[in-house]
Amino acid sequence: MKPHAKPLAGLKVLELARILAGPWCGQLLADLGAQVIKIERPEVGDDTRTWGPPFVTDAAGNSWGAAYFHATNRGKSSVAIAFETPEGQAAIRALAAEADILIENFKVGGLKKYGLDYDSLKAVNPRLIYASITGFGQTGPYAARAGYDYIIQGMSGLMDITGEPEREPQKVGVAVVDIFTGIYTATAILAAVHGRETRGEGCHIDMSLFDTATSILANQASNYLVSGKSPTRLGNAHPNIAPYQVFQVADGHIIVAVGNDGQFQKFCATLGAGDIAAQPDYATNALRVARRTDLQSAVQPYLMQKTRAEWLAAFEAAGVPAGPINRIEDVFSDPQIIHRGMRLELTAADGSKVSGVASPIVINDERMSAPSPSPMLGSGQAQWTTQ
């Protein structure tokens, strides 16, 4: 059966972005079928090409850039252009004149001196959707500051609610603010594409890492805004549900995620702890949250009586949500991940192969991942192709 055309086939995306948030957005659009031309500086390219080890090598054994770069640039072509030269600026302007979308993550005003800011390019392409990603947005007292995921995690309060109560605040294990900003930017771009059909013109999208990080505080932000009390670090416990945490078992640890009173009854029955389930102090979730420490102490001895595999099997049979804590190597040998095809093996024109992680988006039974790996620096042409 001939595969369907991907939903964004025909859209032209010009990426003037580096590191993670902007390239993540561009890769997502490429996965969905857009043509993405990535503009990189000659000789050095995107900073993340050097962010290793580990490094990927091509079929001839030459360096193809760090694994980090390949995590966020598949499906694109690379054009090496010097922004500082009139010739480079003219080449970018010519591409922008035909583009549907431009993604950039320069400092506020950083492209204006090259005549590549929104107002300048809008004059040559009124239909251009121009997405700017910065640390703090285009306005406000911090607008001129550079933004880094790590610092934003700290400033936003995300680190203050991550980690053990008595230890230092912790960042998330990946640059989650950059990634979320890339996803939010892609969402805004797709909304703008739809809006352009009505208005007949493009727009300027202003995305801020600090805004994004504040937004994804989600229930923790709501907890503060409703109660007036700042949430604190709870380690692996949940601020609003109990028991919803990591427990030690005979040979390691498991996660138990009891989401309602019925599941709590099943949890206790599986443990053989009916007396705990019958106690009025644990009858509702609100009561269990208030007494989470006592509850943990009460159930922990039961959990030490069996292994991880035994408990996970027992909880699954009883309908109690529970799961393992896998190493990343375990994830890629998990039968569900294998069945879903989440590991990619992409092949370049010269036969070089790159392993990667597929897009999580599936439409009409087709996984939306770009078919080609990340590009060699400067291997593309400064022109759009007809799709």
Q: Residue 321 has which token pair? A: 């949500």
Which among 287, 269, 290, 160 is positioned nearest to 213, based on CA atoms?
160
**pTM above the 0.75 mark?**
yes
- List pLDDT tens digits, range 241-254: 999 999 999 999 99
- List pLDDT tens digits, range 229-241: 999 999 999 999 9
Which among 77, 9, 74 is positioned nearest to 39, based on CA atoms?
77
pLDDT confidence of residue 1: 42
pLDDT confidence of residue 386: 73
Q: Is 46 labeled as catalytic in the residue annotation?
A: no
Question: 77 CB contacts (<8 Å, ≥6 apart)?
Answer: 35, 36, 37, 38, 375, 379, 380, 381
**Domain at 244-326, CATH class:** alpha beta
Say which CATH superfamily domain 12-216+339-367 falls into.
Crotonobetainyl-coa:carnitine coa-transferase; domain 1 (3.40.50.10540)
Which among 46, 178, 206, 211 is annotated as catalytic?
A: 178
The kind and range of the H/E element at 77 are strand 76-80
**pLDDT of the chain along its 387 residues, tens only?**
456 789 999 999 999 999 999 999 999 999 999 999 999 999 999 999 999 999 999 988 988 999 999 999 999 999 999 999 999 999 999 999 999 999 999 999 999 999 999 999 999 999 999 999 999 999 999 999 999 999 999 999 999 999 999 999 999 999 999 999 999 999 999 999 999 999 999 999 999 999 999 999 999 999 999 999 999 999 999 999 999 999 999 999 999 999 999 999 999 999 999 999 999 999 999 999 999 999 999 999 999 999 999 999 999 999 999 999 999 999 999 999 999 999 999 999 889 999 999 999 999 999 999 999 999 999 999 899 875
Burial 89-119 (b: 16+ CB within 10 A, else e): bebbbebbeebbbbbbbbebebbeebbbbbe
Domain limits of the chain?
12-216+339-367, 244-326
Residue 117 gets which letter from DSSP? S
Centre a 10 Å sphere on the Cβ of residue 127 and count the other Cβ atoms it contains: 16
